[in-house]
Amino acid sequence: MTAANIRPEYATGAIPSLDGIRAVAVALVFLAHSGLEKIIPGGLGVTIFFVLSGYLITTLMRIEHLRSGAINYRGFYLRRLLRLMPPLFIVVAVTAGLAAFSIIDGEFTPTGMAAALFYFGNYHVIAHDFHGMPAGLGVVWSLAIEEHYYLFYPPLAALLLRVGRVGLSVTLLSLFCFAVLAWRYWLVFHGASEDYLTMATDTRVDAILIGCLMALWRNPWLDPVPARRATNDWSIAAICIAVLVGTLIYRNEVFRLTARYSLQSLAIAPLIYLAVARADRLPFRWLNARPLVYIGSISYTIYLSHHMILLGLAKHWPQLSWIWLTLLGALVTWAVAEPMRRWVELPCAKLRKRLHRKVIASAPASTLASVGAP
């Protein structure tokens, strides 16, 4: 994890395939919420988001540390705030208005409003069984887990990057993942609720940590990638997909609430690795198709708003068949997500880039020279 190890030509620009992966993940969640939850694994889509988030954020931290020798916490949290809060605030405000006029079911309690805006929505949902929020906004439970990760992980990442020992990083993060898995088993056998096991930060954060581990250990964007061998790539992809399918087919209750999450995360990470490392090759090239990249670019607002929209449509037009509900829901969700992208997310992204350039500009010249200027 030293400056000499980074590949300068890959240290800048957008990482390929990630938007396509986001598109796949949000499609799984959307289709599950549209009425196909018995055959479409929406929960798997959330786990993909978790692993991807851990990988992406740690990669960005690693690049920053290699360039400047430190993590700028103020810059990091400002960028996260600008990325996450404006769309969330707008969706929460609009949802509150729709609920006030009974256009959608449910309503905000003061605690529910605070939980959605200040990222303790998962524990609120666990405690109140989705009451205190308008119907469909319970999706904020996963945002809370990611925000808790953003709050507590950067100091650990900075320490690991400062020490610079890959083996230590792998060992420590692996121990954390094993601890979370052991904690899930303990909770299962001591009567914890399914909601707690599936939505609490302390029971689900290992998926994010597995993404972090890959970013520090075998990062396809920053580290040398083994020469392409089609047979190996296809074999690894096939094994990972088989593991994912197996975790969905095997319905043992204890397994479903414990080891399933670990196995899914461990299978997702190599697929992300291959998708980035072999972005121009089959079977991953399709992830960089323009329609998928576009859907990935608006996936955050899709995730925030889609369930509320689907439930609202079903309330007012219960006679709609599944296909028409899904198509109309997708159209309305797009009509929300595209203006959000254009008028909120893109301006905030430009501001985030300016903040990031200030961090790079403040780095010592000798450090920048060793890794390549952006």
Q: What is the mean pLDDT of each run of 10 residues along the chain (374 residues)?
A: 47 83 98 95 98 96 90 92 96 97 96 97 96 96 97 94 92 97 98 97 98 96 87 93 97 97 98 96 92 97 98 96 96 98 95 73 47 31
Q: Is residue 297 part of a domain?
A: yes
In a domain, 12, yes or no: no
| Domain ranges, residue 92 | 25-361
The closest alpha carbon to 140, from 111, 109, 119, belongs to 119
Q: Is residue 19 part of a domain?
A: no
Residue 223 belongs to a domain: yes
Task: Classify residue 9: in a domain, yes or no.
Answer: no
Q: What is the pLDDT of residue 361?
A: 61
Domain count, the chain: 1
- Residue 75 in any domain: the answer is yes
In a domain, 18, yes or no: no
Amino acid 230: pLDDT: 76
| Angstrom distance (rounded) from CA 332 to CA 325 | 10
Question: What does pTM read for this prediction?
Answer: 0.93
User: CB–CB of 134/107 below 8 Å?
Assistant: yes
298 near 337, Cβ under 8 Å? yes
Tell me if 371 is assigned to some domain: no
- Residue 229, pLDDT score: 81
